[in-house]
A and B are shown apart, each in its own frame.
Chain A
Amino acid sequence: GESVGLHLPTLSVQEGDNSIINCAYSNSASDYFIWYKQESGKGPQFIIDIRSNMDKRQGQRVTVLLNKTVKHLSLQIAATQPGDSAVYFCAENIGHYKLSFGAGTTVTVRA
């Protein structure tokens, strides 16, 4: 079936460097994508979203890029901080704003 997936399960990044987290999706009809951050012991928290009529959207220290040609989504975190250590999930709208989630990438920030 169609699903959302992340390229790598883990990412280790030096504090202050930029992080890039990738996600591949297969449902070409998806029109809305979201990145969530989940810290230990907490529920997922919204980071940023993007609609399919856009290819880039920026937030505070984060940028989401959408490449519909290759069905690829990425989250870039600028100047990664220790508080950015978490599991990051991409999710796509599979209809009526039901979300299909990828497996997650665990980001660890090295001091």
Chain B
Amino acid sequence: DADVTQTPRNRITKTGKRIMLECSQTKGHDRMYWYRQDPGLGLRLIYYSFDVKDINKGEISDGYSVSRQAQAKFSLSLESAIPNQTALYFCATSDRDTEAFFGQGTRLTVV
């Protein structure tokens, strides 16, 4: 089983719809992150959480919200999806001083 699991793996949604991407981890890490990847660009940080009660905006948080339901679960929501949110989304976890471990990604298409 993967250490970081993202669901769904692929999703096509219509403009204006609300969509939630889910992430769960079995590594027992406190820190969780959501990144977005676009073609030709590196990963950009959307939101991050250092524990259940700590949520922080990243560099591109507009149009997104998150919920840290438990240490192991961190979900990303698009309240009203728009086409320029079409991208590959990655969840990641890390311990205090270690590298981040990434999920397999969710490919989201907004039409």
Chain A nearest Cβ from B77, distance in angstroms: 20
Contact A46 B99, beta carbon cutoff 8 Å: yes
Contact A42 B31, beta carbon cutoff 8 Å: no
Chain B nearest Cβ from A59, distance in angstroms: 12
Q: Of A34, A43, A96, A100, which one neighbours B104 at CB under 8 angstroms?
A: A43
Chain A nearest Cβ from B19, distance in angstroms: 20
B74 in the interface, Cβ–Cβ < 8 Å?
no
Classify chain A's interface size.
20 to 34
> Which residues from 72 to 105 on chain B have a C-beta closer than 8 Å to any C-beta of chain A?
90, 92, 94, 96-97, 99-105
Chain B nearest Cβ from A98, distance in angstroms: 6
Q: Of B33, B42, B50, which one neighbours A103 at CB under 8 angstroms?
A: B42
Q: How many cross-chain pairs have Cβ atoms below 8 Å apart between A and B?
A: 54
Known: A34-B99, A97-B96. A4 touches B42 (CB 8 A): yes
The CA-CA distance from A9 to B42 in the complex, in Å, is 11
Q: Write the chain A residue with the least CB distance to B104.
A: A43
Q: Of A4, A97, A101, which one neighbours B94 at CB under 8 angstroms?
A: A97
The CA-CA distance from A28 to B102 in the complex, in Å, is 26
Known: A98-B58, A101-B43. A45 touches B50 (CB 8 A): no
B110 cross-chain contacts in A, Cβ below 8 A: none
The CA-CA distance from A44 to B92 in the complex, in Å, is 10
Contact A103 B45, beta carbon cutoff 8 Å: no
The CA-CA distance from A81 to B33 in the complex, in Å, is 32
Extra inter-chain contacts (7) besides given A89-B42, A97-B31, A99-B45, CB under 8 Å: A34-B100, A43-B105, A44-B90, A44-B102, A97-B97, A101-B44, A104-B40
Chain A interface residues (CB < 8 Å from chain B): 4, 9, 34, 36, 41-46, 49, 89, 91, 96-104
